[in-house]
Amino acid sequence: MQKEFIGKDSLKKIKEIVNGESIKNVFLVTGKASFQLSGAGEILKNLLDGKNVTLFNSFQANPLIDEAEIGINLFNKSNPDIVIAVGGGSVLDMAKLIKILAAQNNLDYYKIIKNPNLIINKGVPLVAIPTTAGSGSQSTHFAVVYVNKNKYSLAHKYMLPEVAIVDPVLTYNTPKIVAASSAMDALSQAVESYWSAYANSESKVYAAKSIKLILRSIKSAVLDKDDFAMSEIALASHLAGKAINITKTTAPHAMSYILTSKFNIPHGHAVSLFLAPAALITYKIGDNLCNDVLDEICNFFECASIEEFYNKWIKLMHALGLTSKLKDLSIDMTHLDLIVSNVNIERLKNHPTLLNKKDLEDIVEIAIIGA
């Protein structure tokens, strides 16, 4: 069972955590600029005073297995008692990878990624502290990792961080465009989890609450930097993470990864480009049960139809300063066939109805020019 500390100044719980255990050595995984920008650097410097801290931040967004190996080597040399990760989704994913792979008795990392059943050791405790309100990685048991430019999602129950600290104060200095992309990622996760083929009563409670919180607060949080609204978005992101921890994501995520890896479109923005088009096509081909769920989502958005939902989603993206059409992005349109050919099959299987190649092409076409 994960321990959760949520709310303003909850980061201070770190002192209690590291002092309450026999902890001498700390392995700290962070972003580079975000660690200082969020204020976490200065706060943790005081809270970890007296501990031997080894810092690892030598990696880029979208973790590479080669970078994880560098981190594992440093981890092994420092012999840590605990891992603390502070940053966005990529940082938290990197910490999960290091923690779990380092614990598997020198097994081949590539084999573990392809076969998570090889994971038998839990490793040292991990404290995950997000500095963005979006990925929800602190509340999930999986991590993205790229091997030879191929994306994998390593999943195992031992990868769920033992402690999640969600302190909205760390999101206060997030640039607006990053906050917008992150918030849309959380909203997309919540919507996808709610309509997922693997949704259950628990995941739907998390997803529904996340959707309602985000819709109530997203503009004030992103555009006005309102403290209370940012607290609600931070909580909503955590709830969306708890939802996809049960269901995982669906077609919009499955189609988005190539936009990020090849065209450098921020992950949350990339996902949001596909969500409303996917909703239109899913409703068009879905059975009654599938469409009943989509109707419930429309109700959350106070929409009477899936077309109204589509328009409201597009307007929300525009209000947050995000482009809603692929044709308006600075990417070579001749390469967009890569979206369908590189769709993540694992995520696509979670979609509420079966999507064939023509359905995916229709989603891409709407994402390019609009409905």
Look at 28 and 264; give whichever has higher pLDDT: 28
Q: Confidence band (pLDDT; 50, 70, 90) for 371?
A: confident
Q: Which residues contact 204 (CB under 8 A, 6 or more apart)?
A: 193, 194, 243
CB 272 within 8 A of CB 317: yes
Lowest mean pLDDT among 238-247, 257-266, 271-280: 257-266
Query: Would you tell me how many other CB atoms lie within 10 Å of the CB of residue 81?
Result: 17
In the chain, % of residues over pLDDT 90: 72
Confidence of residue 311 (pLDDT cuts 50, 70, 90): very high
Q: How confident is the model at residue 338 (pLDDT cuts 50, 70, 90)?
A: confident
| Per-chain mean pLDDT for the chain | 92
Q: Estimate to the nearest angstrom the gap between the alpha carbon of 177 and the chain centroid.
A: 16
Given a contact cutoff of 8 angstroms between Cβ atoms, the answer to whether 334 and 327 are in contact is no
| CATH class assigned to 3-170 | alpha beta
DSSP SS3 for 85:
strand
Task: Please report which confidence band the pLDDT of residue 353 belongs to, taking 50, 70 and 90 as the band edges.
Answer: very high
Domain spanning 177-369: which superfamily?
Answer: Dehydroquinate synthase-like - alpha domain (1.20.1090.10)
Same fold, 3-170 and 177-369: no
pLDDT of 155-214, one tens digit each?
999 999 999 999 999 999 999 999 999 999 999 999 999 999 999 999 999 999 999 999
Among candidates 197, 219, 195, 217, which has minimal Cα distance to 207? 195
Q: In the chain, what are the domain boundaries? A: 3-170, 177-369
Cβ contact 234:248 at 8 Å: no
Distance (Å, whole) CA 309 – CA 291: 13
The pLDDT-based confidence of 229 (bands split at 50, 70, 90) is very high
Apex CA 212: angle with CA 134 and CA 315, to 5°?
75
Look at 106 and 274; give whichever has higher pLDDT.
Answer: 274
Q: Match 């997803």 to its residue by tokens.
A: 207
DSSP labels, 125-187: -EEEEESSSS--GGG-SEEEEEETTEEEEEE-GGGS-SEEEE-GGGGTT--HHHHHHHHHHHH
Tens-digit pLDDT profile for residues 247-266: 999 999 999 988 888 888 99
Answer yes or no: are the C-beta atoms of 275 and 188 closer than 8 Å.
yes
Backbone angles phi, psi at 54, to 5 degrees: -110, 120
Strands (E), the chain: 3-6, 25-30, 52-56, 82-87, 126-130, 142-147, 150-155, 163-166
Q: What is the pLDDT at residue 189?
A: 97
- Please state, in angstroms and rounded to a whole number, the distance separating the CA atoms of residues 17 and 156: 24
How sure is the predictor about 215, in pLDDT bands with cuts at 50, 70 and 90?
very high
CB of 207 closer than 8 Å to CB of 190: yes
Calpha distance 293→276 (Å, rounded): 15
Nearest to 269 by CA among 369, 176, 171, 140: 176
Q: At what angle do helices 227-247 and 176-195 cross, to 10 degrees?
A: 40
Q: Which range is least confidently modeled, 72-76, 165-169, 278-282, 327-331?
A: 327-331
Check: CB of residue 112 under 8 Å from CB of residue 96.
Answer: no
